[in-house]
Structure 1
């Protein structure tokens, strides 16, 4: 296993985690009036993302790599810009769309983590940490996906 491949793959996941944090921060407070019951879960996801970020940074530095600590992916930046534009338009369902965007972002993160694990580029220790983070991502995805599905039934 090439150390450079592990570091590169971990930095890619770090970008995804940074996307996740920035995405959460950009929608924070936008849906709590309508969905106040979600605030606790949402806060938990933000805290979880920050812990995941630190774990990935530690894995990179332990392998003598340089973590791209504050860098996000181009796709994540474009997605957040698109969400900001959509949310600036007058509509009655911005809260629902915000929840849908959380679910979309979680799907993207899950796919990136699955691809990283399948790539064979991660060392054993990194694979173990990333597999656990993937488990956490799937849990948060299912929580928000179920909530989004439930809210659609209320319409």
Structure 2
């Protein structure tokens, strides 16, 4: 049963990682032209997400599980909400986009932390997920700082 629980948790994290990647694609170009200093961090996050995705797929297949290589319903709803919100936004779309990136990163950090706290991961998975969580926290804090700086500019 432990293996099934581990695969289930890893698949949830795979969906969150796919949500991040789709979210990044949605905001690409909306903010980076205006704030080129963010572009390097954004590119690093895209690369990081691809590595995380591959690590998760490997962990799942090592457990003889089937990777659920899709996005989550919650992520799809959030991206639709962003589209709707941005279509009615008057003012600073760049700031709104940056807020959405921070929101998504915070949600990913929380989900990863819950996965670690669940006790459903094997030792190897726990180690890799812990490393991924560390990277997510770094990205979250980086974008949070940028968001705060941009708000002070306005």
TM-score higher than 0.5: yes
Deviation at 1:86, TM superposition (A): 1.5
Aligned to 1:129: 128
Runs of 4+ in structure 1 deviating by more than 6 angstroms, as ranges, are none
**CA-to-aligned-CA distance 1:32-55 (integer Å, 9 cap, x gap):** 222111111101101100110000
Q: Which consecutive unaligned segments of at least 5 residues does structure 1 have?
A: none
SS of residue paired to 1:31: coil
Aligned to 1:118: 117
Deviation at 1:92, TM superposition (A): 2.0
Deviation at 1:85, TM superposition (A): 1.2
Q: Which consecutive unaligned segments of at least 5 residues does structure 2 have?
A: none
Give runs of aligned pairs for residues 67-106 of structure 1, distance below 5 A.
Answer: 67-69=67-69, 71-106=70-105
**CA-to-aligned-CA distance 1:75-129 (integer Å, 9 cap, x gap):** 1000000111122225221100100000000000000000000000000000000
The separation in 2 between residues aligned to 1:43 and 1:88, in whole angstroms, is 26
SS of residue paired to 1:64: coil
SS of residue paired to 1:24: helix
What's the TM-score once normalised by structure 2's chain length?
A: 0.97
The separation in 2 between residues aligned to 1:49 and 1:79, in whole angstroms, is 19
Q: Do structure 1's residue 57 and structure 2's residue 57 form an aligned pair?
A: yes
Aligned CA-pair RMSD: 0.9
What's the TM-score once normalised by structure 1's chain length?
A: 0.97
